[in-house]
Amino acid sequence: MTVTYKTLDDPLAVYGDYDGTYVRDINDSGKIVGEYLDSSNIYHGFFYKNGVFTPLADPLAGMGQYQGTDAYGINDLGHIVGDYYDSTDLEHGFVYNLHTAKYQTLDAPLAANGTSAYGINDKGQIVGDYYDSSLVYHGFLYTNGKYITLNDPLAGNGHAEGTHAIGINDIGQIVGNYKDGSGVHHGFLYTNGKFIILNDPLAGNGSGDGTFAEGINDLGQIVGEYFDSKDVEHGFLYNLHTGKFKTLDDPLGTHGTGITGINDSGQIVGFYYDGSDAAHGFYAHLG
């Protein structure tokens, strides 16, 4: 498999110590979303098309340090999902329509400490997570105004443990990750009402290590990242039909690579960390 990587850096981003540009998703027409941190330490979402970065800022987002807007998912109809932090540092999900330029806030009804929206398909189904009053994460599926909670049965129930639903394809298959009671992360596929574990065989098994599934297309290709036993991050591609994992590392990612989105044409997006731990977005095509 030949993969050619192209760096995508928002010109308004600052770079250093895990700051920079994070590319999150790509739709079937090649439109891309992500976020960057500016020189005032405020997050901004962006929409990328034909070489142009357009900022995305929810009008309800706070403008203090490490507040702002993050864009995580985009479908083929021009609907974008993400989250924003308000002036009190509370996190809210949103859906944005490129055609009407309107934002709609999405707060899961059981959320006590924040909601994030990560993925959206062409049917308008949205996946994400919320943080409850016990500081446990729960995944959700939002369809036609209704929220369904998604809890992987193997997820831990302690502080900052739980389930994260990250990507959804047009068939309704969902991928994400959970953190178990030992602090190890595991990817999952949720299909036909069942959770299936996705563990890259090269992932470490220590606390903080493991596998994170981020995106899925309609062909059954899943992307994400894993942390190896040395705590180095690597991107992966997993094929549901063959059951095989393949590591994909950006050659410029000397300190790690993460893959966050894939479309039906085999175009992938993600980010890498350079030798100074600055984050850079990338785009690539699976040849």
**134 contact partners, CB below 8 Å, separation of at least 6:** 157, 159
Tokens of residue 252, six digits: 């410029």
List the domain boundaries for the chain: 3-286
Question: What HEC string does the chain produce?
Answer: CCEEEEEECCCCCCCECCEEEEEEEECCCCCEEEEEECCCCCEEEEEEECCEEEEECCCCCCCCCCCEEEEEEECCCCEEEEEEECCCCCEEEEEEECCCCEEEEECCCCCCCCEEEEEECCCCCEEEEEECCCCCEEEEEEECCEEEEECCCCCCCCCCCEEEEEEECCCCCEEEEEECCCCCEEEEEEECCEEEEECCCCCCCCCCCEEEEEEECCCCEEEEEEECCCCCEEEEEEECCCCEEEEECCCCCCCCEEEEEECCCCEEEEEEECCCCCEEEEEEEEC
- Determine the pLDDT at residue 18: 82
Q: What is the pLDDT of residue 237?
A: 98
Q: Assess whether pLDDT exceeds 80 at residue 249.
A: yes
With a cut of 90, say whether residue 287 has pLDDT above it.
no
**169-199 tens-digit pLDDT:** 999 999 999 999 889 999 999 999 999 999 9
Task: Quick: pLDDT tens for 73-125.
Answer: 999 999 999 999 999 999 999 999 999 999 999 999 999 999 999 999 999 99
Residue 96 pLDDT: 98
Compute the average pLDDT of residues 136-155.
Answer: 97
Identify which of 80, 86, 129, 137 has the alpha carbon closest to the alpha carbon of residue 108: 129
**How confident is the model at residue 206, as a pLDDT?**
86
Q: Residue range 122-145: average pLDDT?
A: 97
Query: Which segment of 120-129, 156-165, 211-220 scores lowest on mean pLDDT?
Result: 156-165
Whole-angstrom distance, CA of residue 179 vs CA of residue 90: 22
According to CATH, the topology of domain 3-286 is Neuraminidase (2.120.10)
With 0.95 as the threshold, say if the pTM is over it. Answer: yes
> What's the pLDDT tens digit per position in 43-70?
999 999 999 999 999 999 999 999 999 9
Please tell me the predicted confidence (pLDDT) of residue 20: 96
Nearest CA-CA partner of 143 in 118, 167, 119, 123: 123
User: Is the pLDDT score of 17 beyond 90?
Assistant: no
Residues 222, 273, 269, 97, CA torsion sign: positive
| Pairing relationship of beta strands 68-74 and 91-97 according to DSSP bridges | unpaired
Residue 72 has pLDDT above 80, yes or no: yes
pLDDT score recorded for residue 149: 98
Residue 225 has pLDDT above 90, yes or no: yes
In this predicted structure, what is the pLDDT of residue 160?
A: 86
User: Quick check: 16 pLDDT over 90?
Assistant: no
% of the chain surpassing 70 pLDDT: 100
Residue 251 Ramachandran class (φ > 0 left, ψ -120 to 50 alpha, else beta): alpha
Q: Identify the CA nearest to 185 among candidates 221, 210, 220, 213.
A: 210
pLDDT mean across residues, the chain: 96
What pLDDT, on a 0 to 100 scale, did the predictor assign at position 236?
A: 98
Percentage of the chain with pLDDT > 90?
93
